[in-house]
């Protein structure tokens, strides 16, 4: 990867590309001009099965990434929506912690630097003081496992429990490990009622990467046609000393025009980053 190509390395989320075999998606990411790829470990059986990959499968995917020239930098571990760390069901909690161990191993095997962990204490069951406490405790245990493996865990603020960078920073300060950081999403922050610029300042020195997409809703909005002030967002990143990857998070798995969409997204971000 050319570290001088962009002011910030540009990554693409797996679901921003048309659904194909992974090696073809890596090639698409390269053709669209991206540096990094974020692989999904979501709650579907198909993607959770990646936690059970053989050593041979890991090697094949690593080889495909090397041949494409695109680094698999991060993994989005939203599978914990289905099996949450804060669950009141002991069997679900046990499954969640086993998945975390598998997710960390997945990163080790694939050479992934950052495992993005969703800030849900629970998702399909009621959130309570107990589920929040359980999430905090299990996140701390997870960080210990990640530290042993040299894998960075990074909390994404979402629509319940950890909804802001400020809340995520409370966890970072309480757990006190260099292996726990924050990986926010500009649109998530806006839709939860927070000012993304102010929130990013709260995470100074502890942001591993940043998801970018437009707001105000989850429907596709081309960059520059929504409500987010991207020039101000990138100005804030520069002022806070951030130099990590910027990951474009879109959903184009069934969109045959996906290459046009992700190429335009990259061009827009390059224009903003270069101050044009």
Q: Match 């069997």 to its residue by tokens.
A: 91
Q: Is the dihedral of CA 223, 228, 230, 234 positive or negative?
A: negative
Q: pTM higher than 0.85 for the full model? A: yes
- The structure tokens listed for 60 are 């094949």
- Domains of the chain, with CATH numbers? 10-273 (3.20.20.150)
User: Does the pLDDT of residue 276 top 80, yes or no?
Assistant: no
User: CA of 210: how far to CAs of 123, 127, 131, 243, in Å?
Assistant: 23, 26, 27, 10
The rounded distance, in Å, linking the Cα atoms of 136 and 4 is 38
Taking only the tens place, the pLDDT of each residue in 105-130 is 999 999 999 999 999 999 999 999 99
Average pLDDT along the chain: 96
Does residue 187 contact residue 214 with C-beta atoms inside 8 Å? yes
Q: Rg of the chain's alpha carbons, rounded to an integer?
A: 18
Please state the rounded mean pLDDT for residues 136-152: 99
pLDDT tens, position by position, 13-53: 999 999 999 999 999 999 999 999 999 999 999 999 999 99
pLDDT reading at 142 higher than 60: yes
**Phi-psi category of 150—alpha, beta or left, where left has phi over 0 and alpha has psi -120 to 50?**
left
How would residue 162 be classed by pLDDT, with cut points 50, 70 and 90? very high
Residue 220 — pLDDT band, cuts 50, 70, 90?
A: confident
**Residue 217: HSE in the Cβ half-sphere, 13 Å Cα cutoff:** 2
């Amino acid at each position: 990867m050319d570290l001088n190509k962009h002011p910030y390395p540009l990554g693409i989320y797996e679901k921003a590309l048309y659904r194909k075999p992974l090696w073809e998606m890596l090639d698409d990411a390269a053709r669209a001009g991206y540096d990094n790829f974020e692989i999904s470990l979501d709650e579907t059986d198909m993607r959770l099965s990646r936690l059970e990959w053989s050593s041979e499968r890991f090697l094949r995917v690593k080889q495909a990434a090397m041949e494409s020239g695109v680094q698999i930098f991060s993994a989005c571990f939203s599978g914990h929506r289905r099996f949450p760390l804060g669950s009141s069901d002991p069997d679900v909690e046990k499954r969640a912690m086993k998945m975390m161990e598998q997710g960390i191993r997945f990163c080790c095997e694939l050479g992934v630097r950052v495992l993005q962990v969703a800030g849900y204490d629970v998702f399909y069951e009621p959130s309570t003081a107990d589920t929040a406490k359980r999430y905090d405790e299990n996140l701390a245990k997870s960080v210990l496992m990640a530290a042993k493996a040299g894998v960075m865990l990074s909390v994404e603020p979402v629509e319940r429990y950890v909804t802001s960078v400020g809340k995520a920073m409370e966890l970072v300060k309480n757990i006190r490990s260099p292996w726990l950081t924050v990986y926010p999403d500009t649109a998530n922050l806006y839709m939860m009622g927070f000012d993304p610029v102010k929130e990013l300042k709260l995470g100074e020195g502890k942001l591993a990467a940043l998801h970018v997409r437009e707001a105000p809703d989850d429907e596709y909005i081309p960059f520059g046609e929504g409500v987010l002030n991207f020039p101000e967002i990138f100005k804030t990143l520069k002022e806070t000393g951030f130099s990590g990857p910027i990951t474009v998070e879109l959903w184009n798995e069934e969109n045959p025009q996906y290459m046009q969409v992700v190429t335009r997204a990259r061009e827009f971000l390059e224009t903003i980053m270069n101050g044009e």
